[in-house]
Amino acid sequence: MGLILCEALKVKKPFHIEVLSLDIHSYEELCYIIFENPILVTEGIVSDTLVEFIRNELNLEVLADNVKRKMSNGTADEDILVYIIDSCSLYNNAETIIFRNVMGKIKKMAVHEVAKQRADYMFYIGKYDLAKKYYLEILDMDTKAENGFIGSVYHNLGVIYANLFLYEEALDALKKSYEITNDDVILIEIYFLKRIFTASYEEENDEEMSKLLKADLAGEAKKAFDIALEGVGESERIKNINSIFETEDTARKKKVLDDYIADLKADYRNMK
């Protein structure tokens, strides 16, 4: 891990990047965030608010004037971000060339492809609410994307709904993904979903899954679920829960339980 030396400048009004839930306090920070998150900051970061921040908070009037001029001339956001990085002494020539190439590739991508990469990243870091927003926006787009692309969107949307404990929505999304991709792995995921969310689930009474899951695949799904269930039982989180309730000291039990619930709430808020 490296350190970035920032100018000793105290800003009164930080620049907020909504998609990252992050406040920027210096020019070096701004350049670093743009450089490290190109697929994310292409959405809405180039704005009058950014120009005002550069001018009024960072006291970089020439840079602010040039960014404003480029915006007025219709310069693409991607090219303006390249200009900001080029104007920053934080990166050497080789690094700025790499950034230019990355932004050039993003500029050539279709809108739905950029949205998918943005959604996938939010999905990966557990920002489920934002990922869900982006995936739903893709499904509302009039695209000519391949079935595999749309199937992947529905699949990830289903996983997000499951993580948010929205069973019906998760089931519907995964079913649509399977209809599009015909991927047997998704059938196993649907089986997992039903086993987890349906009280007293009985395979023999589930006609829908019986038709979809052939005998060999059904056996594989059941075995995989049992292994996963055993793994959950051995997980550190479950062990921690058990240790809480095994604690005889009432006062300590209450404190540990309150701390655990606070952690769960923090995890949930991070999904937003």
Q: Is the pLDDT of residue 157 over 60?
A: yes
pLDDT of residue 42: 78
Q: Does the pLDDT at position 156 exceed 90?
A: yes
Q: Which is higher by pLDDT, 209 or 36?
A: 36
Q: What is the pLDDT of residue 235?
A: 47
The pLDDT value recorded for residue 1 is 37
Per-residue model confidence as pLDDT tens digits over 83-111: 999 998 888 889 999 999 998 898 888 88
Q: Would you state the structure tokens that stand for residue 193, as one six-digit string?
A: 């979903």
Evaluate if residue 119 carries a pLDDT over 70: yes
Q: Is 17 helix (H, G, I), strand (E, B) or coil?
A: strand
Residue with tokens 């104007």: 87
pLDDT above 90: percentage of residues in the chain: 39
Q: Which amino acid is at 224?
A: A
Burial class for 224, CB neighbours closer than 10 Å (0-12, 13-18, 19+): middle
pLDDT of amino acid 226 = 66
258 pLDDT higher than 50? yes
Structure tokens at 266: 């923090």
Strand partners, 16: 23
Q: Which residues pair with 17 in a beta bridge?
A: 22
Residues 6+ apart with CB under 8 A from 198: 167
Mean per-residue pLDDT for 55-65?
95
> Higher-confidence residue: 180 or 255?
180
Q: Which of 2-6, 25-29, 130-134 has the lowest mean pLDDT?
A: 2-6
Q: Tens digit of pLDDT for each residue in 190-207?
A: 888 887 777 666 665 667
The full DSSP string for the chain is ----PPP----SSPEEEGGGTEEE-SHHHHHHHHHH-HHHHTTT-SSHHHHHIIIIIS--HHHHHHHHHHHHTT--HHHHHHHHHHT-TTS-HHHHHHHHHHHHHHHHS-HHHHHHHHHHHHHHTT-HHHHHHHHHHHHHS-----HHHHHHHHHHHHHHHHHTT-HHHHHHHHHHHHHHH--HHHHHHHHHHHHHHSTT--GGG-HHHHHHS-HHHHHHHHHHHHHHHHHHHTSHHHHHHHHHHH---HHHHHHHHHHHHHHHHHHHHHT-
Mean pLDDT of the chain: 80
